Structure 1
Amino acid sequence: MPSASSGSSDSSDSFRPVPSSLRRDADFRRLWLGQTASQLGEHASLVILPLLAVLTLDASAGRLGVLRAVGQAPILLLSLFAGAWVDRWRTRTTMVLADAGRALALGAVALACLFGRLGMPGLFVLAFAVGALSVFFDVAYQASLVRLVNRDQLLRGNSALEGSRSAAQIGGPALGGALVSLLSAPIAAASGALFFALSFLSIRRIRRAEAVPKRPEHPPGVGHRIHEGLRFVARDRVLRAVCLASAAFQFSFAAMMTVYLLFLPRELHLPGTVVGLALAAAGPGALLGSLLAARLPRRFGHGTVLVCAAALGDGMFLCVPALHGSSAATVPALLAVGFVFGFGGQLVNVTIMAVRQAVTPDGMQGRAAATITFAGMGLAPLGSLSGGFLAGEWGLRTGLLVAAAGMMLSPVVMAFSPLARLGRELPAPRGGPTGG
């Protein structure tokens, strides 16, 4: 891939994405720090908003499912548009605007809590706003690395950035749960706004120009660009398998998490702080997964790592319905489940992202990422609603078991797809449109 031209006085005209040079590069540090703060705010808010609904507004299982579905609905509604947008504009600009908007939205939650005006309708609106802006940030984040590093370094670059996301997974849920439980709802919401503001300040200081794909003299309309992205992904066997596996996982994971957030405080009688710790346990596992993600696929093959890591991580939640009460073994068991899930999930995330970026032409990166997000995470709102239904109709324990079993569909899909046959080297880019 052509390297990005420098917009500063740095003597180097491109990223040289080996770990040591990435650490020395000022613009990469700004991206890394901004992404870490943004992910910390996102993971904290994913716990803060549902716990606010459950503990402060006494939301039922159905309402919690609706809240999570509303927050995830923008993935289904806006992903394809976001992909077409990102392929024509600077990812830095998109991420900065998304961070500013999310900071304002969570600030509004904090003010509503402070003045006693927070209700479920307002929480629905603000959750939708945060989710919509997160769609644009995530699509831009996935496309940004490809414009800044060489293709043969994508695995290492993704491993470095995913490591920061792992660090956010460690602190975000624990921070969110602790603030809601120990301090106050306004402080909990304000903490998320603060992290998004920090990300805004860091990313906006990036000076290096991006290698944005050249626009044609008469660019096609948004609908045409979206159709190009859909057609490109649908015709590629590897990317089509990624979509199917992602859809199976995201639907079942959304259902499982809806039940899980009710199961821990109501069935196991755990306080908010412990709930946050149980969720944060995925962070250390994900950090280990990030460290090994640049090595294991090159040793055992990308396909083997994908299938085994998905089966190991997703299968751990089948153990949770067997737990009873807040016994001495309950919390360590939950921590172990979270750790292994984080480890396997991060191996899958880094490897899948590297495969997707490797087979996609530069001018299709945003649309390919958005199409896969649309096809996969677009089912998350339906999964959240299904989780609320399962919890309400079948009970928390049975509902959790059914949702956890559904997560095993993802490694099964991978095992019977071209993904399982990927070797030690990343596949070559496919042909496709390169302009916007």
Structure 2
Amino acid sequence: MKVPLGRPYWLLWTAGAISFAGDGIMFGALPLLAASITRDPRIVSLSEAAGNVGWLLLGLISGVMVDRWRRTSTMWIVDAIRAVVAGALAAAVLSGLGTIPLLLVTAFLLGMLAPFFDNAASVVVTDVVVPTALERANGYSQVSLLSLKNLIGPPLGAALFVLSHGLPVLLNAVSFAIAALLVWTIRTSAPARVRAPDRHLGRELREGLVYLWRHKLLRTLCLLLTIVNGVGAGILSILVLYVLEVLHLPEQGFGWLVAIYAVGGVAGAFVTPRLSRRMTTSTNLVAAMVISSVAIIAFGLLTVFVLVAIAAIVLGFGSTWWNVVSITLRQRMIPAELLGRVTAVYRMVAFCAAPLGAVGAGFLAHTTDLRTPYLLLGLLQLAATAVSAPMIRREVRASADPGSAG
């Protein structure tokens, strides 16, 4: 019998779904807005890089704050601020004042807020859901993320962009506001964090760093995720140009390809809990990464839209497979009092490569062509997986393989 996930989880899920929809609309429109101003891949890729700088500057500190603050309160306050920032950009674009510097500043500000929300959202599920239901809860969260942020949102954002360049940005701001209001209604569902009076920022940061460094499995997964995030940011930063100039699709084609990716991701979210029960955690992690890498390589080899679409489905499936298994593994292995800090260290280290990947792909595309970055980045991810696989298998066995126990 399935354990009910409860009202707090479903309100958090609803708030997340609304926010994901707004993000998806923005995701489908913002690259088109940048491309409407300039076709230089170096400049277009900077918007992706600017959005990830926040993890470099505030990633570690956000983890300490998430362990100090009530996690639901962190989420609604951050979303309220993001609604104001996105609203200011919407007003500027609707007034015909949208420029590349303005887009970069907005991406930077939203990126500075993202670590606080993302860290809180990734660990708050352990406050409102029983441990045996974590895979299901994480799977449902991935479904809402993929179906709304990747499947429905981007095509809608691209279509709305054609009608009005500022409308998608405005809807994104509204989604932040609604999500903030919903989480505010259940702000006391997550427990207030208790902090000893002799604690201070440096010591708490060090505890998170030391725990991750000494945990061989989490350390290995973190290093692999660093490569994966760099690769992901790279392929995403030039995707709009790949769609327009390699696949020769109209502007809406960017949203189509992202939506196709999401179809594979939604399938992965529903299938992963079954795969987790039937295979070991190490097999799940390595297999997910291998098929994702092969799909990225296919982007660099293929130019026929139907074949690229199949590769996008495979990439979506593999990415979600990895996400659900790795997130659940972290939630179960890391002590509750350290979860925010260790998660922040884990994600901050991984996100360090994102700006480098985005800018690197842009410069590589500028000096070669738009297909070469996909081929090289896919091969890099596949090589990193091959190097990491033996350590993952060994450490999962040493940890009594929590995934294979179902």
Fold agreement, TM-score > 0.5 = yes
For the Cα contact (< 8 Å) 1:230–1:371, is it kept in 2? Answer: yes
CA pair 300-39 structure 1, distance change in 2 beyond 3 A: same
For 2:321 and 2:214, how far apart are their aligned partners in 1? 26
Match of 2:255 in 1: 276
CA shift, 1:62, in A, is 1.0
TM norm structure 1 = 0.87
- Cα deviation, 1:123-160, whole Å, max 9, x if unaligned, reads 11101111122221110001101122233332222122
CA pair 241-59 structure 1, distance change in 2 beyond 3 A: same
Return the match for 1:45 from 3, 26, 29: 26
Match of 2:246 in 1: 267
Q: How does 1:49-64 map to 2 (within 5 A)?
A: 49-55=30-36, 57-64=37-44
For 2:317 and 2:300, how far apart are their aligned partners in 1? 21
Match of 2:156 in 1: 175
Q: How does 1:14-413 map to 2 (within 5 A)?
A: 21-22=4-5, 25-55=6-36, 57-168=37-148, 169-180=150-161, 182-206=162-186, 208-218=188-198, 220-324=199-303, 330-413=304-387
CA pair 83-358 structure 1, distance change in 2 beyond 3 A: same
- Structure 2 letter corresponding to 1:107: G
CA shift, 1:187, in A, is 0.7
For 2:180 and 2:293, how far apart are their aligned partners in 1? 33
CA pair 67-134 structure 1, distance change in 2 beyond 3 A: same
CA shift, 1:421, in A, is 5.7
For the Cα contact (< 8 Å) 1:256–1:404, is it kept in 2? Answer: no
**Which runs of no fewer than 5 residues in structure 2 stay unpaired?**
none
CA pair 149-27 structure 1, distance change in 2 beyond 3 A: closer
For the Cα contact (< 8 Å) 1:27–1:207, is it kept in 2? Answer: no
TM norm structure 2 = 0.93
Match of 1:12 in 2: none
For 1:120 and 1:149, how far apart are their aligned partners in 2? 42
CA shift, 1:239, in A, is 0.8
For 1:313 and 1:175, how far apart are their aligned partners in 2? 26
For 1:172 and 1:242, how far apart are their aligned partners in 2? 30
Match of 1:422 in 2: 396
- Structure 2 letter corresponding to 1:74: G
**Which runs of no fewer than 5 residues in structure 1 stay unpaired?**
1-17, 325-329, 429-436
CA shift, 1:363, in A, is 0.6
For 1:335 and 1:173, how far apart are their aligned partners in 2? 15
- Structure 2 letter corresponding to 1:343: F
CA pair 279-420 structure 1, distance change in 2 beyond 3 A: farther
Match of 1:433 in 2: none
CA shift, 1:405, in A, is 2.2
For 1:76 and 1:49, how far apart are their aligned partners in 2? 22
SS at match of 1:281: helix
- Structure 1, 271-280 or 158-167: larger mean CA deviation: 158-167
For the Cα contact (< 8 Å) 1:355–1:427, is it kept in 2? Answer: yes
CA shift, 1:420, in A, is 6.4
- Structure 1, 248-257 or 398-407: larger mean CA deviation: 398-407
For 1:207 and 1:191, how far apart are their aligned partners in 2? 24
CA pair 184-420 structure 1, distance change in 2 beyond 3 A: farther
SS at match of 1:417: helix
Identical amino acids, percent of aligned pairs: 30
SS at match of 1:372: helix
Match of 1:9 in 2: none
For 2:137 and 2:299, how far apart are their aligned partners in 1? 34
Aligned pairs, how many?
401
CA pair 419-377 structure 1, distance change in 2 beyond 3 A: farther
SS at match of 1:87: helix
